[in-house]
Amino acid sequence: MGHGTAAGGVGAGTPAAVLAAALALAGPAAAGCSPGQVEIRGPGGIARFSVEIADSPEEQSRGLMFRESLASGAGMLFVYDRPERAVFWMKNTLIPLDMVFADATGRVTRVHANARPRDETPIDGGAGVLLVLEINGGLAARLGIGPGSELRHPVLAPGTAAWPCD
């Protein structure tokens, strides 16, 4: 995962499952934030993901490796102590995924779509990354998540977050 560690995510699933996930993820914003949830707003509306948090070097190293699936509305959120260059690879990751890189304000700076399972080619998220959200491959494009979208989670400082928690 981050820092030259393997990432991991899940395939897109059936068309019906993808549609159901998109409908479940879209809708009005919640009144606040939850540590187990990430919300992203962009041109496609608001998407919500239930997330596992990877905030220690061990969790970030393991990430989603060796998993054979990931629920359509789920993901893993990598949280760094401070903004830095985030580089991932897909070694030992069995499912394709999208990597959504965000800065300290929660603004999406880059999306790497459909990372290939077991590929050891470095995926550079760029400098200044504080958060990386891994979701099923292809889901970011289907939900309109791209650079400029805004991510919200309690880990973001209220005074600097582009989309603060209520």
Cβ-contact 103, 130 below 8 angstroms: yes
Domain assignments of the chain as residue spans, ordered by start: 5-152
* 91-118 residue pLDDT tens: 999 999 999 999 999 999 999 999 999 9
The CATH class, in words, for 5-152 is mainly beta
pLDDT at residue 22 above 60?
no
Where are any strands of DSSP class E within 55-142? 74-84, 87-89, 97-102, 108-115, 123-124, 129-136
Q: What is the per-residue pLDDT for 31? A: 47
* Bridge partners for 110 per DSSP: 101
Question: In which order are the strands placed within the sheet that holds 108-115?
Answer: 108-115, 97-102, 129-136, 74-84, 45-54, 37-42, 150-152
pLDDT for res 166: 80
pLDDT > 90: percent of the chain: 79
